Chains A and B, each alone.
Chain A
Amino acid sequence: AQRVTQPEKLLSVFKGAPVELKCNYSYSGSPELFWYVQYSRQRLQLLLRHISRESIKGFTADLNKGETSFHLKKPFAQEEDSAMYYCAHPPRSRSGGYQKVTFGTGTKLQVIP
């Protein structure tokens, strides 16, 4: 089955330290991948997607097809980055379109002051 894996349930870093949240995917081809974030007491929201190649709140994520990874990175963590982060992908259906979207199990980022 096509899936994404987030190996870390919890990642604790000190403020100002670099952050890397891992996401690996299991299928070949051209995936469409996303990172979503859920801050405390807020709804889930899109952080970034690989096709836009943008940086949001200092975070970037590069698709590495060789390693089948889409790790989320930030050079200097801030306290406000503490949140739950989910990697997600909409696998292609047999008809070729995208339908259901599945998520990894999530990584809780804790930034220590």
Chain B
Amino acid sequence: DAGITQSPRHKVTETGTPVTLRCHQTENHRYMYWYRQDPGHGLRLIHYSYGVKDTDKGEVSDGYSVSRSKTEDFLLTLESATSSQTSVYFCAISAGAPGANVLTFGAGSRLTVL
């Protein structure tokens, strides 16, 4: 559906453990994004990528790292999960061209850190 999938869709983990969320696209889009969605804060950008091995920080990047070794995959890693990182994480893709900068979202990954 929509050429973008996220895994896992649900995860419960404990404080201090590493967690990796995967975003996979079949659209060959250049740009990929990771957002977190929290009540009262809306969608906040964590990291984004504008090409293979090209990534940059968003507004809430502390505690997160990303990697993009292939066009189709964008990984979000929490090196040592904390309770404040309990959230719903959304991956998005876009072609990025002016006038066509529309985001397509994944279904979301709900992470609970106990």
Contact = CB atoms under 8 A, between A and B. Distances in A.
Interface in A3-24: 6, 9
A103 B102 contact: no
B58 A90 contact: no
Contact of B105 (A9, A44, A98): A44
Give the interface SS of chain A, mostly helix, strand, loop or mixed.
loop
B71 to A, nearest CB: 16
Contact of B48 (A36, A51, A99): A99
Nearest to B108: A43
Interface string A26-47: 0000001010100000011110
B40 A105 contact: yes
The contact size tier of chain A is 20 to 34
B31 interface: yes
Interface residues of B, number: 29
Given A86-B42, A104-B42, A105-B40, A32 B98 contact: yes
Contacts of A103: 35, 42-45
A32 B35 CA distance: 20
Contact of A101 (B41, B56, B103, B108): B103
Interface of A: 6, 9, 32, 34, 36, 43-46, 49, 51, 86, 88, 90, 97-106
